[in-house]
Structure 1
């Protein structure tokens, strides 16, 4: 009886925490705002009836002309035109609400200011560029684009190690963290308590006690799904500095749609990691969610790490409430004699890059297109999501039609059913053109990897969908003629036998509702 009473007591306390907790208040405020916008919509809709069709048809026509002349992807234009033309009141109200978001404009201005102040830390080494030009004029042109549009220079003298599974990344990163002497920077989309994060945090805490500067930056979504709201204070008590990117607030704002999806870990300015792996147990298969989790990561040692060091510090600056001493990046970029190490004398070039949804330049998207269009023999892709715009569909189908072995590996067990239905809606068109699509039978693929012609590859956080390529902050590394490219190709070759090839018949055999929902969602795919 005593145990039963205790259980009832804990149940009541748990219910009270839900009812009077932060999440409930958050949902309440959101509901009130939605109710207010619904009232405005009803009021305008009544005016629509009173003023007649002509007035709102004129507004809709003017707005349509404006959207068609905007500088943005055609798929986004179509996603806006449908509600504006079919539902003039709702579509117009929604469009105006999105475009008048001052918070997004203020955030964009802050990012631009930080980048302007720190551009001189990312100057292109002319000797490296000249060596690349002699090797490949096409890749030199890509290097120019990545520097001009993304802000990040090309490097050589960088040693790479590729991890085809998060399990292997986990072991390596614990060893490298133990070697830190000056600082450790951690920036991840997802951080969740468990075996992986607890192991890393234990080392970070010990390093902080030894005088190593430790900074952690994570996306604000974690505060609702993975970590306590006051987790930064908990870390500060351990001697670890912490900031949250774009904390979730109880206010309807389009800025909440732009998340920090990057995965960056930097040690002492000479070692860095990126890839698809987040800091949670499912990424190292210590927690089963969607079958076997196929993910990857890559480690850099050498001069290219400078790009990741600067991009972390830039985002750290952006997330500060007021300017601080982080403006002087120089101490963090001084690596002493490390770059004279013989182990860095490896062939090839690399461009660690970041992609921002604020500047209107989809760097990751353009990089993927460049690889596909330049491919001569093959282009192999791993991605958890497949939500494509017309440019990407054209590039993939054109590659296949001109004889390039174009292969995509997708999950067979999805993490999001809606994204899976949407992905399947593209299969038939791609397969008809000759693109080969496989699904990973053991479970979920979370790798975001391109490899082509045995000479170039990309490993990073950029998915093959609108959210990654247009809405999130992302990162990755482009690699050209480095020996690690062959390791990435080997991972693809070893993964393929574990997959089932999709055909027109297998797509046709999918449930009718599944196919219909996928096709219907393409209407709003850019806004999902």
Structure 2
């Protein structure tokens, strides 16, 4: 009798989930996959769905009203910006999905690797007069954290407001002692979606992966680099960590700051008084760019659509640096379509990643790339953590978003899309230099003949690609 009741209850729960899947417009293949899991894995199937399967663009983590309230600081409009016809389509797409327009009074500095990046960050932090806003996915104890604390103490003493926001899972190792020291020196601290048992199923899979620093609404930093000493010391197994960051001075910083203010409000439920903030413009028109935010609460997957549009509109080349290229169907199709159309599509990634399971999953797509003419370069020197896309000497994307389902659908991310030929050329030269030092995979037949055990492991890892 008890068993019958339990089975009946489980069937009812399964039917409720089926109705939810149908109402939320999920793809038929995904619906069938979740049905299979729910009705073949007792209890575990339902738990997996609650943890990983819900459509957050339908059932928001945070109220859209709260989101709108937090984003009031963002400008409603902007001056008309002269932009090429080539870039107009992508810029319009980004504006309609994120409400962040093109700005052109910006001065940009490309920063490579940890030493150069943190030297620039520390120097700029020392110049702060009004506020410092700092937000990171990974914030770890160590040399960098101590240097930041030292600067914060001095700045707070100078009446500079310092706010620090960190992700509850990405920064799980950040010690309570360090956080207490931050609070003791009057730094405002907030944690984004902390790990709590009551909210475990609803929040664990949705992380804030952004890396943002804003100083006085005048200078901002974003890119792939976290606050971790591995960027100074390297990694015992992977060697030196390579990454790309961007220093922005100008009006685009206001939009970067708007993202921080929004996330700060969502994490702390505290509003930031922006009445004294002014939009800083460089004296002369400089680099044109847009800040592109994306997250599970947004109606559209803005960064995924931006990547998709860049690749679909490419005429000559698309160069990609990314450690975690685990493409969904749309991204894979756009990459293959571009390559089959004669566009030079190249992927540059490390010869291994920091997670073996992810490494096998990444490699499971190599055969598809090579078959369609996509060139794969494996960098043997350290670990490439950059998230970069270059196209036709006209567009560069530098940011936090990987080419995987987690970044494109589940995480809160931020990319800078730059329309600047000089910066694109600089990044292209760096890319080709790195390719010349890397191992090139371009022989489809040779790769296809790899050991069957490798194919089996890759195939098993690929099954987990939607959640990696």
**1:87 Cα deviation after fit:** 4.3
Alignment partner of 1:298 is 2:251: no
Give matches, 1:13-52, under 5 Å.
47-48=6-7
* Deviation, structure 1 residue 183: 1.1
Name whichever structure is richer in helix by fraction.
1
2:187 pairs with 240, 243, 260, which one?
240
1:424–1:515 contact (8 Å) kept in structure 2: no
2:410 aligned partner: 471
For the aligned residues, what is the CA RMSD?
3.0
Counterpart-to-counterpart distance in 2, 1:164 and 1:230 = 31
Q: How does 1:232-381 map to 2 (within 5 A)?
A: 232-251=179-198, 252-320=200-268, 322-324=269-271, 326=272, 328-331=273-276, 333-335=277-279, 339=281, 341-342=282-283, 344-346=284-286, 348-381=287-320
Match status 1:142 vs 2:87: no
| Whole-angstrom CA distance in 1 between matches of 2:28 and 2:249 | 40
Q: For 1:188 and 1:474, how far apart are their aligned partners in 2?
A: 11
TM-score, normalised via structure 2 length:
0.90
Instruction: Indicate the SS of the match to 1:146.
Output: helix
SS at match of 1:172: helix
For the 8 Å contact 1:215–1:242, the answer to whether it is kept is yes
Question: What is the CA-CA distance between 1:146 and the residue it aligns to?
Answer: 1.9
Partner of 1:157: 105
Tell me, in whole angstroms, the C-alpha distance in 2 between the residues paired with 1:146 and 1:96: 31
| Inter-partner Cα distance in structure 1 for 2:30 and 2:452 | 27
CA deviation string 1:165-214 (max 9, x = no partner): 22211221121111111111110001112222222222222111111111
Counterpart check, 1:127 vs 2:80 = yes
Distance 1:92 1:370 in 2: 35
- SS of the equivalent of 1:410 reads strand
Q: State the 1:442 CA deviation.
A: 0.9
Matched residue SS, 2:174: coil
- 2:326 aligned counterpart, secondary structure: coil
The verdict on how the C-alpha distance between 1:263 and 1:113 changes in structure 2, with shifts beyond 3 A counting, is same
What is the Cα deviation at residue 88 of structure 1?
7.3
| 1:206 match | 154
1:342-421 equivalences under 5 Å are: 342=283, 344-346=284-286, 348-421=287-360
- Structure 1 residues 201 and 67: alpha-carbon distance in aligned structure 2, compared to 1, 3 A threshold: same
Question: Bigger radius of gyration, 1 or 2?
Answer: 1
- Over 3 Å counting, the alpha-carbon distance change for 1:303 and 1:415 in structure 2 is same
Answering whether residue 399 of structure 2 is matched by residue 456 of structure 1, we say no
For the residue of structure 2 that corresponds to 1:358, the secondary structure is coil
Shift of residue 455, structure 1, vs aligned partner:
0.6
In the other structure, the counterpart of 1:70 is 24
Change (3 A) 1:241 1:139: same
Shift of 1:123: 1.9
Match in the other structure for 1:114 = 67
2:149–2:182: 8 Å Cα contact kept in structure 1? no
> Deviation at 1:250?
3.1
Distance in 1 (CA, whole Å) between partners of 2:367 and 2:241 is 26
Matched, 1:519 2:426: no
Which whole-Å CA distance do the structure 1 matches of 2:408 and 2:228 have between them? 23
Deviation at 1:526, TM superposition (A): 1.2
- Paired positions, count: 464
Whole-Å separation in 2 of the counterparts to 1:366 and 1:44: 47
Question: How much does 1:73 deviate?
Answer: 6.0
After superposition, give the CA deviation of every residue in 1:481-510 in whole Å (9 maximum; x if it has no partner).
352222221221121122111243564465
Q: Report if aligned partners of 2:73, 2:274 keep a CA contact under 8 Å in 1.
A: no
Q: For each residue in 1:417-469, what CA deviation from the matched residue of structure 2 results, as whole angstroms up to 9, or x when unmatched?
A: 00010111111011100000111111211000000100101000000111111
Note closer, same or farther for the CA distance 1:78–1:408 as it changes in structure 2 (3 Å cut).
farther
